[in-house]
Amino acid sequence: MGIKEIAKKANVSVTTVSLALNGRKGVSEKTRELISRIAQEEGYRVPSDREIATTDNGIILFAQLTRNGKILNKDQHHFILEYINGIQSQLASTGYTFEMISDTVLQIDLLIDRINKKCVKGVIILGTELQEDDIIAFSELNAPFVVIDTYFNSIKAHFISMNNIQGMFQIIKECREIGHTSFAMITSSIRTGNITMRERGFHLALQAYGISETYPLLSVQPGFLGAYEDMNRYLDTKPNLPSLLFCFNDIAAYGIIKALRHHGIGVPQEISVVGFDDISMTTMMDPQLSTVKVANHMIGRKATSALIELIDGGNPEEYTTELVSTSFILRDSVRRLND
């Protein structure tokens, strides 16, 4: 049994299980005891029981940070867990201890002070919702850091993230090959680095394949409900629709599908829908969602390796950005038009 199964059996989030098993704050004593009991009953070895290494090199901190909680919400727990699993697997024989915090950057000076007081050896920052100024502020950390799940070309920092532009080219190329010639993008009203790069990739891919941008970029609130409500209002205007809609992430895609169905528009019979992230529910929903798979586990491992290299004496001024390849997964939400 793994951490996902423990979370399901305890009826809590995977983040709560991780906090409880690592002895971190933010979990009630009753919930902590429940999680520990389930872990013991199922033979899951909690971190304190594992003989991973014979030395203690200090703490590697994973900082799950939000700005508004609109993109990184409860629906993304399993997506984030794959980052955590990658980090922990890479740390397994290094002698470093894994710790995790969940916090907001709205009072970033206090957050940085809190991290510095922990005297950690290094920090991996989940930067999904962070802005450029947030990442610049982390230069005040006393330990080296690596940022995952976003990047900014204008900032001198170490980034490991997914290749959003490659993902958009994969969507347009493969869907074009099965007969799609008209595309539109649903983007988010909340801006993030990833969403900006997906928009850029969408425009570049259309240009590269000689496809005219006939349809306007449509902005919706992030999350299932926000995407559903905004798409409903848009569909009330009876707009012309393309053969394929790309949604900035999987959660929004299902909100869009619900709105389409509310207006009697079949997916994929009348319009195809594609998401991004390949979260766990994509194969459990109807229809199963075509999407871009992100190699979260690999990103977590690579970020950990890069951080340890910095701790071991790597030049902190030699800033690197590594973009990990994505893959397009064709499922039931996209119709093959050339069959």
**Ramachandran angles phi, psi of 95, nearest 5°:** 90, 0
Residues 199 and 307 in one domain: no
Label the pairing between strands 145-148 and 159-162. Answer: parallel
Q: pLDDT by residue (tens digit) across 36-64?
A: 878 877 766 555 454 444 457 899 999 99
**Inside any domain, residue 138:** yes
Residues 39 and 135 in one domain: no
**Inside any domain, residue 26:** yes
User: Mean of the pLDDT values across residues 260-283?
Assistant: 96
Query: How far apart are alpha carbons 314 and 156 in whole angstroms?
Result: 15
- The residue whose two tokens read 């559903």 is 228
DSSP 3-state assignment of 293?
A: strand
**Inside any domain, residue 277:** yes
> What is the token pair recorded at 105?
């950057």
DSSP string, 226-258: HHHHHHHHHHHT-----SEEEESSHHHHHHHHH
Residues 224 and 145 in one domain: no
User: Mean of the pLDDT values across residues 64-92?
Assistant: 89
The confidence score (pLDDT) of residue 47 equals 54
The confidence score (pLDDT) of residue 7 equals 82
Structural domain containing residue 143: 55-162+295-324
Average pLDDT, rounded, for the chain: 90
Q: 26-35, 70-79, 225-234 — which one is most confidently predicted on average?
A: 225-234
The answer on pLDDT for 24 being more than 70 is: no
Residue, of 17 and 111, whose pLDDT is higher: 111
Query: How far apart are alpha carbons 74 and 262 in whole angstroms?
Result: 25
Residues 39 and 182 in one domain: no
Q: pLDDT by residue (tens digit) across 105-124?
A: 999 999 999 999 999 999 99
How many percent of the chain have pLDDT more than 70?
94
**Inside any domain, residue 334:** no
**Ramachandran angles phi, psi of 226, nearest 5°:** -60, -45
Give the CATH number of the domain where residue 261 resides: 3.40.50.2300
- Distant-in-sequence contacts of 48-52, Cβ < 8 A, 24+ apart: 48/23, 52/91, 52/92, 52/93, 52/95
The answer on pLDDT for 31 being more than 60 is: yes
The answer on pLDDT for 310 being more than 60 is: yes
The answer on pLDDT for 227 being more than 80 is: yes
**Inside any domain, residue 62:** yes
- Residue 19 neighbours by CB under 8 Å, 6+ apart: 25, 26, 27, 100, 102
Residues 198 and 272 in one domain: yes
> Is the previous residue joined to 268 through a cis bond, with omega within 30 degrees of 0?
yes
Domain count, the chain: 3
The confidence score (pLDDT) of residue 52 equals 40
